[in-house]
Amino acid sequence: MTLDTTTRCPVCGSGSGHQPQLDGLVHQCQSCTFTWTVNDIPPPDELYNANYFTGDGYEDYYQPTARRFEARKRLRWLLRHTPTTPATLLEAGSAGGYFIEAARHHGIDAEGVEVAESAAQFATEHLGVPVHHGTFETHQPTHPYDAICAFHVLEHVEDPNTLLRTARAHLHPGGHLGIEVPNIASAAARRLGTRWPGLQPLHHRWHFTPQSLTQLVMSHGFEVISRDTTVFRYYMPARFRLRQGRHLFPADLRHTRSPRLTHPYRGDLLRLVARRPAGGRNPR
């Protein structure tokens, strides 16, 4: 799905007021702040091949120290917002499988779906975790899950509405959804403009603000129970943060006005936990 200035916004339905931003690389709905890349991007099953995970600046996808640290932090964050540890979990876009590994070490029956065959193969052969090759939207699980996660996936998919409808259908009533995406409303995005690392117009179709992500998730019948943002340094191990993050700290402190690694809305990365209600209205 691609959008232009005349297409109705897939989040709020507005058909007008879409304004070009960042030298015209993206358009933004002025009603809900949902933002999309203007240029056409190939479908995920064509774009995310072995080269994506071993080149183009993503060589660290398979580095165990950094990825295991990141996976453990994401798991702790998710578990803080679930009343009990999920018994079952499905991850959309598992990449090399490190989050699945962390969840299974915690006793969760976790599995993943990954569109890049090379990444799914790495997860199964090197980590020994169940990651299925294919798209999350067409995956046919044999049972519903207590939790579904999508970390830096929603900005890549052809249609975020389809992913969220699929996630809701695959969740138990009362199950939880965890999402993380770049935050185009962050202080860094406003400061850096077209140099903002989260822009990536060759890969990122959609861009979210706290407002638009919340509105989109709620439109699919979810209850949002937690939402905040983090700075990029959040996923750096402490020693690496001190060594490599020194140049980031002054800018983070200046623009978030806080020494903390999290912020309600100004951080680089936007994360959200939502719950599928046991009852309630039918989603769109």
Global pTM reads 0.91
Domain tally, the chain: 1
Looking at this protein, which amino acid is placed at residue 277?
P
User: Is 129 within a domain?
Assistant: yes
User: Is 66 within a domain?
Assistant: yes
Please check whether residue 114 is in contact with residue 132, taking contact to mean a CB–CB distance below 8 angstroms.
Answer: yes
Give the list of residues 6+ apart from residue 108 with CB closer than 8 angstroms, or none. Answer: 85, 86, 87, 88, 89, 147
The arithmetic mean of pLDDT across residues 12-36, rounded, is: 89
Query: Mean pLDDT in the chain?
Result: 88
Residue 171 has pLDDT above 60, yes or no: yes
Q: Which of 53-57, 141-145, 183-187, 219-223 has the lowest mean pLDDT?
A: 53-57
The arithmetic mean of pLDDT across residues 71-80, rounded, is: 97
Q: In the prediction, which pLDDT does 57 show?
A: 47
Query: Other CB atoms closer than 10 Å to residue 107's CB: what's the count?
Result: 10
Q: In the prediction, which pLDDT does 16 show?
A: 73
* CATH number, domain with residue 225: 3.40.50.150
- 10, 147, 169, 200, 201 from 36: Cα distances, Å: 10, 28, 26, 11, 9
Residue 49 has pLDDT above 90, yes or no: no
User: Is 95 within a domain?
Assistant: yes
User: Is 263 within a domain?
Assistant: yes
Binned at pLDDT 50, 70 and 90, residue 43 comes out as: confident
266 sits in the region (left: phi over 0; alpha: psi -120 to 50; else beta) called alpha
CA 73 to chain centre: 14
Q: Which residue has the higher pLDDT, 121 or 48?
A: 121
Residue 260 has pLDDT above 90, yes or no: no
User: Is 59 within a domain?
Assistant: yes
Q: Which of 13-17, 32-36, 215-219 has the lowest mean pLDDT?
A: 13-17
Residue 226 has pLDDT above 70, yes or no: yes
Q: CB-side exposure of 92: number of CA atoms within 13 Å?
A: 34
Both tokens of residue 217?
């998730």
Residue 246 has pLDDT above 60, yes or no: no
Nearest alpha carbon to residue 275 among 160, 177, 180 = 177
Q: In the prediction, which pLDDT does 2 show?
A: 63
User: Is 284 within a domain?
Assistant: no
Q: In the prediction, which pLDDT does 140 show?
A: 95
Per cent of the chain over pLDDT 90 is 62
Q: Measure the CA–CA gap between 125 and 135, rounded to whole angstroms.
A: 19
Q: In the prediction, which pLDDT does 8 show?
A: 82
List, in sequence order, the alpha helices (H) in the chain: 44-47, 50-54, 64-80, 98-105, 117-122, 160-170, 187-192, 210-218, 238-244, 248-256
Binned at pLDDT 50, 70 and 90, residue 282 comes out as: low
Q: In the prediction, which pLDDT does 75 show?
A: 98
User: Is 23 within a domain?
Assistant: no
The arithmetic mean of pLDDT across residues 77-99, rounded, is: 97
CA dihedral over 31, 34, 39, 44, signed as positive or negative: negative
The arithmetic mean of pLDDT across residues 27-54, rounded, is: 84
Q: What is the pLDDT of residues 52-69, one digit of tens each?
A: 766 554 556 788 888 999
Q: Which residue has the higher pLDDT, 232 or 196?
A: 196
What domain range is 270 assigned to?
A: 45-275
User: Is 25 within a domain?
Assistant: no
* SS3 at position 229: strand
